Amino acid sequence: FLIAVCASLAWTWLVKWRVGRHRAAIWKSLVLPAGGAALCWLLLMTLWLPLLDFARSYVPLVQQATSLMPKAPGCVATLGVNRSQTAAFAFHGHLALRPLDAKSTCLWLIADKGSIAKHQDLLQNQGWILRRTIGHPAERKESLGLYQRLSPVSTPAAGETQE
């Protein structure tokens, strides 16, 4: 805010200086338009950037999901999550993401609400329970479900076979 106020005062001084000299040719110069454009850009970057960043970022979405998970959740399965969401969860949430399949041993699942209806049988057979529906605060169309497996999947020990 202080940077924006100082820049506005500097532009006000520039206008006063330019108006005081060569009043007849005041708008022929590029000083005022260039100074005004630079001021607008500076104000946008100092005052509005946090709001724009919040509206475009996946950080709030990732924070909603990771707040319900333990500190080190291990692997997290994904179903129908797009590339940008996957990148956000991996980068901001420090999660090890794996695509969901029948052999998945992950205890947590992040699934797109549109993909859940297509894979209901897979979710029910593996014992997933919905913990929370999370959405992007600025984009209402994005809705993800955070699921937790009720019981860990048992994997056969070395040398044993499953029947």
* pLDDT tens, residue order, the chain (163 aa): 888 888 888 888 877 877 776 666 655 577 778 888 888 888 888 888 887 777 778 888 888 888 888 888 888 989 888 898 889 999 998 998 998 887 878 899 999 887 777 777 666 777 788 888 888 777 777 788 898 888 665 544 444 444 3
């009720």: which residue's tokens?
150
pTM score, whole prediction: 0.63
Q: Which of 146, 140, 128, 149 lies closest to 62, judged by CA?
A: 146
100 and 111 in contact (C-beta within 8 Å)? yes
Q: Give the integer Cα–Cα distance in Å for 113 and 88.
A: 18
Q: What is the dihedral of CA 106, 107, 108, 114, to 10 degrees?
A: 70
